[in-house]
Every structure is written in structure tokens, then in C-alpha cells.
Structure 1
Amino acid sequence: MSEQVSRKLPRRRVSRRSVLQSSAALLSAPLVAKATAAFGQEKLAGTGEVIVCSYGGSFTEKLRKYVYDPFTKATGIRIVDVTSDLATPVIKAMHEAGRIDWDLAFVNPLDAGYLELRQAGAFMPIDYSLWDDEALKGAPESTRFTDVVVAFQNANLLVYDERAFPKGGPKSWADFWNIKEFPGPRGLGANGLVGVVFALLADGVPYKKLWRLTDDEFDRALKKLHEIKPHITKWWVAGGEPIQLLINREYALTNAFDGRALAAIKQGVPIRMVWDGAAISDNYWTVLKGGPNSANAQKFIAFVNRAQMAAAFTQATGYPGPNQNQLKYLPADLTPLISINPDNAAKTVRLDTAWLAAKRADGKANADYLGERWLAWRAR
């Protein structure tokens, strides 16, 4: 999530691992799907192991208890953990060396090197024939690619302190810019991409016309951001900062990551998430071509995308996988707080990762160009 949304856009200096494991550590214990041979189904049964690269810490600990161990019990295939904050540089090194030591890895489509790896054929086609009907129907086609599949999605959204607005808080990014009706210190992340998105939404750009950004639209976003800049008391960098600053009452409202906010709410922190205009980005499962246990890796992906296991993944990590059929297995108090809830999903904006990674006429990726302009604006 990875919570990273760009390669070179300004962002926090905290590891992706720490962001994810912090959220996972605070969630209530999920229900473990009954792992039996029947649940694993004969076509997923096997022997040996599968080597999975994850983020470590409590994120992986929760996955082991609520996803990995049930997979082993149901199929007979062991999970071997390896950890890496950013998998793509390691995958690239293995690919160039011609020796692939992992089977599965989380990757973010905006990580440096991801496109090159995909174009070089480093990822195997996903074997959707192993998926059960509930998984295929529950995971939208837009999340199921030929050679990658969405593992989980994260949202960057407006969050506010309920104590600061006892009569009702902001409901949109336009409200975030409305200093008169919603006074108080504000925060924004140092990541320029989502700031641009929020500014354009606040300025009235319809969701469907947001992408793909022209230079004029970027100028418009910076002009709008200039209005709110004097009211930003801190441009936060680390993923845990905005929630802590809300708790300390140093912010009245800010943007923050959904997993962080969800974990705090589950602990009784008086904050509220606003889904209108939340920016959604994806993290993928990849099966590495040439890995030692590719067949077992395919079985694991089929297993983790089953509705019950998808629900366990969401409860363990705080970040939902794409299978919407998991909603019927989640606690009633959790479903209003996650991005795949249909009511929330209808209000979100998905980052156009293909456009962000695409090259401009000058040879720069759109994401890099936006990052450079953002840095120049912040420095003024």
C-alpha cells in the first residue's frame, strides 16, 4: 500500500511496512474461516511450500494467523515468509540475475521499476481457473488483470476531529477549503498527487473529468491550493502523523490513510472518515515467473480471494481486497468503515495509474512531472 501513490512525488519518510503493520496491530481479532480440506477443495490441495514476500511486522503476523495458517490447514501447503519494504528492486535484481527466489510478492503499480518488470514478462499470468465462483463474481473485472491481481486497496481521505465540530463536520473537499464554516488548523500530506486531486475536487471538477490532467488543470489545482496554504499548520510526512495530530488537537481536519483512521476509530478515538472524494490506489499480488513454487503460488491467490478469506484479510490488515462478497462475512460495525462498501466506493476517485506512469513528450513520466511542479510550488 501500500499507501505510496507515486514514485517521486514528495511523501512521508516512513516505511510502507510500518504503515501497514500499525493498522493491522490495532484491529479487533477477525474470525478465522473454518479451514478444512473441503474448504481448500481438491484443486487447491498440494504439498511443499510457497515463498511470499510481505512487509513484515504485525502486518505479516496477522496474515499468518488469519490467512496463511488457514491456507496451510486447508491445502497442506506451507507459507514461508520473506520481508521487503519495496519488493520491486529485489524482483528486478533477481530477474536480471536469472534466479528467482520468491514465488509471490506485493507490488504497487507506481513503484519505480514496476512497469519495466511487467513489460519484461517478470510476472506469470494469473490462473483464474482455480478461483471459485464466488471469488470471480465478487472481484470486479477491473481488479483482475492477466498477470497481476489487486491484493488490497487503500484510500487517502478527509478525516476530522469530532470534538472540533460537535454540530457536524465537513462532508467534502469543498468544505475542507471552507474556512468560515469549518474553522480550525488543517493538515495536508506532503504528497503532491493527492493534494492536486483534492484541490480540483474542491474547485468543482467532476469526478469523471478529473483524469487525465492537463497543464492547465494542474495550474488550476495549484491556484486552489494557494488559497488553503496559509491554513496548513503542518505538511505531514509519516503515515501516523495526521491521526496523532488530530488526537492532540493540533489538527481539526486533515487527509489521512483509511487504515490508520480505521484502527484509531476501533480504539475509540473520536474522529470521522469522509468518503466523498477519497483517493483510491491499489496494491497487487504478483506471481514471479521462474519462482520455485509457482503452482502453489497460484493456489494461494485463489484461496486468499475467496470471500471468507478476503474478509479475514481485511480484518487482519485493515485494507480490503477486491472481493465484494466478503461484505457478508464482515462484522456490521466494520463495513461502514471500508472502501469497498458500495456506499463509500461510489464517492471515491481512483488514481489513474496507467496515465501517471505514462511518458510525456519530454520523456518524463506524468507522475515525475507533477512531482517536480509540486516541489517548485511548495518552495515558493
Structure 2
Amino acid sequence: MNSRLTLTLAATLLASTAMAQENELTVASWGGSFQEAESKALFEPAAEAMGIDLTQETYSGMSDVRLQVQTGQVTFDLVASGTGSAARAGAEGLLEPIDYDVVDVSHFLEGTYSDYCVGSDVFSTTYAWNTDTYGEDGPDSWADFWDVEKFPGSRAYRGNSVAGALEPALMADGVAPEDVYSVLDSEEGIERAIDKIRELKPHIEVFWSSGAQQAQLMKDGEVDMTTGWNGRFDTAARDGGKVAYSFNQGLADVDCFAIPKGAPHKDLAMKFLAEISKPEYQDDLPKYITYGPTNTLAYETGEISPEVAAMLPSSPENAAKQLPISLEWYIKWETTANEMYQEMLTE
């Protein structure tokens, strides 16, 4: 009798443990103010609504996913990613395909979802300037950013990646936004963009490598202008930085969520992804960082005021001013372009 009772209790304990594990998820993102915003707007409320025990981690990107998948020790259920990185990781077999019978993207902006990732927010790579140096009427184009006579002063530019670095250079060189990716579709076009950056290089004091760094440069007044991400500049301004920026000729880009191949709770992760993609979560993200929702219904809930919408990259008015990033170009050319770009930086 005692042995039977012991076996029954053990089986019950195992079943309870299994059920508990089925309600656990591990989400990885990039940390800092960005993950804090995701946590408050998306992760924590969705986990509470679904009754999930959620663990959040910070990670370095798809290289961490690759290591987990290759070693068969996958611990992440959902990861934040750039769309280009997710597309390459998906092609490499590192990600689970998104089940669009579960995740509803019927009201998502065009181009903000793909086979292996679902867009979480829209951000803009743009130019920012020190208002103590130039006042509120700073540069209004990439040509202005390059014009060191009209706008004398120091610059900062992206140095750790070609992402968002070549397109501004071509627009500064007179290429119309709609023609940028056609010109970049060759090594000659890539070299043209790099030559334009080489022209500005004597005035670039810092080649930045992170969002935190670009914001800190402006907050500290270390440079007069920099490229970077709009949400980081808004954070710097809230922290007392003398910084302004423009969406004109900005590069509209998308962060997304992906599920690693072999995720321990793949089905639950897909349901969680469906939950955080709903407008009632996405409309809260701008409360914490000025990145725009990918679900257009988020603009109809009443949570995003016209004043806040005016600051978001995905609002109709701001989206019309920008060049959407070409995922296809990055899949085809990013590796080659990065090698060429890094060679120029070490000259």
C-alpha cells in the first residue's frame, strides 16, 4: 500500500513538474532601454495574461542562437532580432518557421514579417545634431550631414556594421532614395557609397558601435552630429541631452521576434508571439521608447496620442519621408559590403 502510494505521489509530482515546465518561457533580447521597454509593454503583461512564468535574458544576437542549435542545447524560446539577421539565420536552418495560422499579421505593415520572424517595432536610422551647436534648424538631408561648410563641426558614424551606413552616403551623393538599392546592387555601387564616407572620414571623430554609445555621444556633447536610432536620441533628450533629429530621408527598419530551432517550448512560444503581436500590447511600446508598432491597429486603440504618433517612425506622416530598408539587399550583399567597409575604416 505504501509503495503504491509512493508511486502515485511520484507520478503526480512528475506530472505537476511537466505541467509547470510547459508554462515556462525564456525570452532573450539586447538589454538596455530597449529590452526594458519590451519587458514593460509586451513581455510582462502578456505573460501575466497567459499565466506563464517568464525568464528574460540578454544575448549577443544570432551567434548565440547558432551555438545553441549546433550544440543541441537550446534554452531560448523566443529571441529579438534584426530582420536581416533572422532571414539569414532562417536560411541557415537555425529558426523555426512562423505558423501564421497562430500569429495574426493581417493588419501588419507590409514588409514587417517573413517566414522566420514577426516584426515587433519600427525604428529609424537618421541623423541627429547638437542643438547648442546648430539650434533647432539643423540638417534636413544627408547632403546637409555631409556639408561641413554649411554645418561645420564633428561627426560620428556607424563603424561596427554596414547596416544603415551605405544608404545615407548615396543619398548625400545625389542618388534619389528610390534608386539607392539599385545603385548598391553591385560592388561598384557599394564602393561609390564607401568613397562618399571616405570623403567625410576626416570629420568623423567617432565610429560608434552601439545604440548606447550614439546616445551618450549626443548627451555628452562629444560630437556635433551623428547617425543613429531615433529612440536612442529621444532617450538622450529626456536625459538632458541637447539633441534633435529629423525623419527626412531616414531609413525605416524593423526589429522582430524569432523562435530558435528546437526551442524547448516551441508551441507555447508561438502562442506568446501571437499574444505580444496584438495591438493592445504594441500600443504600449511607445510609452517607453519611441519606436513604432508594426500592427497598424495599434494606432486605432486610442492609446497613442497624435503628439506621440508624430514621434514614431511608422506613423503614416513619418513613414512617407523615409526609405524602407531592403531585406533582400542585405541578404545578398551584407557580407561583401561589410568586408569592403571594414577595409576602408582601417585605412
Whether TM exceeds 0.5 here: the answer is yes
Secondary structure of the 1:210 match is: helix
* 5+ long unaligned stretches in structure 2: 1-21
Partner of 2:172: 202
Summarize the Cα distance change of 1:49–1:349 in structure 2 as closer, same or farther, 3 Å threshold. same
Secondary structure of the 2:258 match is: strand
Deviation at 1:173, TM superposition (A): 0.6
TM-score when normalising by structure 2: 0.80
Summarize the Cα distance change of 1:116–1:131 in structure 2 as closer, same or farther, 3 Å threshold. closer
Partner of 1:26: none
Choose which of 148, 172, 175 in structure 2 pairs with 1:179. Answer: 148
Matched, 1:152 2:121: yes
TM-score when normalising by structure 1: 0.74
Matched, 1:80 2:55: yes
Secondary structure of the 1:228 match is: helix
- Distance in 2 (CA, whole Å) between partners of 1:238 and 1:141 is 27
In structure 2, what residue type is equivalent to 1:246? M
- Please say if residues 252 and 325 of structure 2, whose CA atoms lie closer than 8 Å, have aligned partners that are also in contact: yes
Summarize the Cα distance change of 1:185–1:290 in structure 2 as closer, same or farther, 3 Å threshold. closer
Choose which of 293, 298, 312 in structure 1 pairs with 2:270. Answer: 298
- Distance in 1 (CA, whole Å) between partners of 2:221 and 2:69 is 48
In structure 1, what residue type is equivalent to 2:340? R
Secondary structure of the 2:116 match is: coil
Choose which of 97, 111, 123 in structure 2 pairs with 1:125. Answer: 97
Summarize the Cα distance change of 1:203–1:148 in structure 2 as closer, same or farther, 3 Å threshold. same
How many residues end up aligned between the 2 structures? 321
- Please say if residues 77 and 296 of structure 1, whose CA atoms lie closer than 8 Å, have aligned partners that are also in contact: no
Deviation at 1:257, TM superposition (A): 1.8
Secondary structure of the 2:138 match is: coil
- Please say if residues 199 and 221 of structure 1, whose CA atoms lie closer than 8 Å, have aligned partners that are also in contact: yes
Deviation at 1:270, TM superposition (A): 3.0
Deviations 1:262-301 (A, max 9, x none): 1123345332111122223333211234333222212211
1:204-243 to structure 2, matched below 5 A, reads 204-212=174-182, 213=184, 214-243=186-215
In structure 2, what residue type is equivalent to 1:201? M
Structure number with bigger Rg: 2
Deviations 1:38-72 (A, max 9, x none): xxxxxxxxx72322223345654544443333223
- Distance in 2 (CA, whole Å) between partners of 1:352 and 1:298 is 26
- Please say if residues 262 and 337 of structure 1, whose CA atoms lie closer than 8 Å, have aligned partners that are also in contact: no
Deviation at 1:154, TM superposition (A): 3.2
- Distance in 2 (CA, whole Å) between partners of 1:238 and 1:163 is 24
- Distance in 2 (CA, whole Å) between partners of 1:160 and 1:219 is 27
Identity %: 25
- Please say if residues 162 and 334 of structure 2, whose CA atoms lie closer than 8 Å, have aligned partners that are also in contact: no
- Distance in 2 (CA, whole Å) between partners of 1:143 and 1:265 is 28
In structure 1, what residue type is equivalent to 2:173? D
1:1-380 to structure 2, matched below 5 A, reads 48-56=23-31, 59-86=34-61, 88-111=62-85, 117-119=89-91, 121-131=93-103, 136-137=106-107, 139-166=108-135, 168-190=137-159, 191-212=161-182, 213=184, 214-327=186-299, 328-358=302-332, 366-380=333-347
Summarize the Cα distance change of 1:48–1:215 in structure 2 as closer, same or farther, 3 Å threshold. closer
- Distance in 2 (CA, whole Å) between partners of 1:377 and 1:141 is 35
